[in-house]
Amino acid sequence: MAGKAPTIFVPKGASTNKPLSFFGKDFYYWKGRMKLFLESKDVDLWDIIKIDSYKPTRRNQARVEINKPKAEWTQEEKPRVLLNSRAMFFLKCALSESEYDK
């Protein structure tokens, strides 16, 4: 119908640019919203949080896998490491000061 206002999908007070703050209540609601927020920024961000962050590694002379120094990272590894930082940044920005200090 002409002249009808568009439906708004972002609730009042919410943002598509910053994560939903967590104040210690309704964790599962926050977790679901946070998962969607992170996946909207990059599909791999939630996996980094849920499974583990990516760490570039190599085998030393004893054939033991060790973390690579930053100077040895390849151009393919750098974007994956950047996703780790983005995931941590969003999580830390979402926590209230009291939750962050716990």
Q: Which amino acid is at 69?
A: P
- What residue ranges do the domains of the chain occupy? 27-96
How would DSSP label each residue in 23-52? -SS-HHHHHHHHHHHHHHH-TTHHHHHHT-
- The structure's pTM equals 0.67
Question: Are 87 and 38 in contact, with CB atoms under 8 Å apart?
Answer: yes
Residue 80 CA to chain centroid, in angstroms?
12
Task: List pLDDT tens digits, range 39-88.
Answer: 988 888 888 888 888 899 999 889 999 999 999 999 999 998 999 999 88
